[in-house]
Amino acid sequence: MLKIRDLALEAGEFRVEVAALEVAAGEYFVLLGPNGSGKTLLLSCLAGLLRARRGEVRVDGRDVTHLEPRQRQIGYVPQDYGLFPHMDVARNITFALRVRGMSHGAALEQLTPLVDLLDLRKLLGHWPLTLSGGERQKAALARALAIQPFLLLLDEPVSALDWPTRAEVLEQLRRVQKELGVTTLHVCHSLDEATAVADRAGVMVGGRLAQTGRLEELIANPANAQVARLLRPAPVAPRPEKGQRE
C-alpha cells in the first residue's frame, strides 16, 4: 500500500503539497488533474527521481522517502513510455533482471507469464521505433512489472493513443492490475479514463490534492468549483449536418 503524509516538493517556483493520501494494497487509484497541476511531479517524487522537501512516503510499510530510486521497488511508466531505443522489446523487458545479474535467457524465461499476460510474445524481437503506441505501452508496462513492484505508477498511460486503442489498453490495464494485485497510481486528466479503471480517485488542482474518494462521491459532492469543473463530463461535439464540412 501507499501512504503519503505532509509531502512537499518544489520544481522551480512551482510547489506540490499533499497533506495525506492513502492507497490500499491492490487498489487502482486514479489521480485526476488538469495540465500543470503537479501530477507528474508527484509521480517523479514517488519514483525517487525528485527529492521531497519534507514529508513522508511509505510503500508497503517501508519508509522510502529518502531511498534511491533503485531501492524503492516502484514500477514507473512515463507518459512517452520511455522504452530504450537501442534494445529490442525482449531486452527492454528483461533489463531490470539483467541489471540484477541474470542472463537475458533466464530473465526471459522467468518473465514468460508476464509476456503471455500482456500478449507480447510476437513483439519480442521488434525495435521500439517500429511499434504502435499501444504496443509500446504494453512493452513499457511489462518492463515496469518485471521488478514485481510494490507500487505501479502510470503517467497518463493512454493519452497518446486514439480512442479505440485507449479503451482496449484501459481494459487490459485493469485486467492485468487485478490479476497481479499490484497497487496502482494512475494519473490522467480524463474523467472517462478514470471511470474505466478507478477503484477510487483523487483530484489535484494547482499543486494540491483537493479531494479523494469514490468517483461517484466526487462527482456528487465536489469539494470546490475547480474540482466540479474537472469532473464535469466532456461536452460532445455536435454531429455536422449534411453538406457541412467537418
Partner 1 sequence: MPTVAGPRVHWVSVLTVVFLAVFVLAVLALVAADLWFTNVEAMQKVLASEEVRHAVRLSLLTSVCTLVLVVVFAIPVGYALSRYRFPGSVVLDAVVDLPIVMPPVILGVSLLVFFRTPVGRWIESVEWMRFVYTVKGIVLCQFFLTASLGIRASKAAFDAADQRLERLALTLGCTHGQAFWRVAVPMARGGLAAGAVMAWARAVGVFGPLLIFVGAVPMKTAVMPTVVYLEVSIGHIEPALAVAMLLLAMAMVALVLLHWLAVGRRRWWAS
- Contacts with partner 1 by CB under 8 A lie at 47-49, 68-70, 72, 74-76, 78, 82, 84-86, 95-96, 99-100, 127, 129-130, 143-144, 146-147
CB of 52 to partner 1, least distance (A): 16
Q: Which residues pair with 43 in a beta bridge?
A: none
Alpha-carbon gap, residue 173 to 189, rounded angstroms = 17
In this structure, are residues 184 and 208 in contact, taking their beta carbons and an 8 Å threshold? no
CB of 205 to partner 1, least distance (A): 26
Query: Which residue's CB is nearer to partner 1, number 143 or number 166?
Result: 143
What is the full DSSP assignment across 25-94?
A: TT-EEEEE--TTSSHHHHHHHHHTSS--SEEEEEETTEE-TTS-HHHH-EEEE-TT----TTS-HHHHHH
CB of 164 to partner 1, least distance (A): 26
Query: Which residue's CB is nearer to partner 1, number 34 or number 82?
Result: 82
CB of 245 to partner 1, least distance (A): 21
Query: Which residue's CB is nearer to partner 1, number 44 or number 177?
Result: 44
Query: Which residue's CB is nearer to partner 1, number 80 or number 119?
Result: 80
CB of 187 to partner 1, least distance (A): 16
Q: Coil, strand or helix: which one is 157?
A: coil
**Residue 86 identity (one-letter amino acid):** H
CB of 67 to partner 1, least distance (A): 11
Query: Which residue's CB is nearer to partner 1, number 47 or number 187?
Result: 47
Query: Which residue's CB is nearer to partner 1, number 154 or number 194?
Result: 154
In this structure, are residues 76 and 153 in contact, taking their beta carbons and an 8 Å threshold? yes
CA proximity to 33, closest of 197, 233, 223, 208 = 208
Secondary structure letter of residue 120 according to DSSP? -
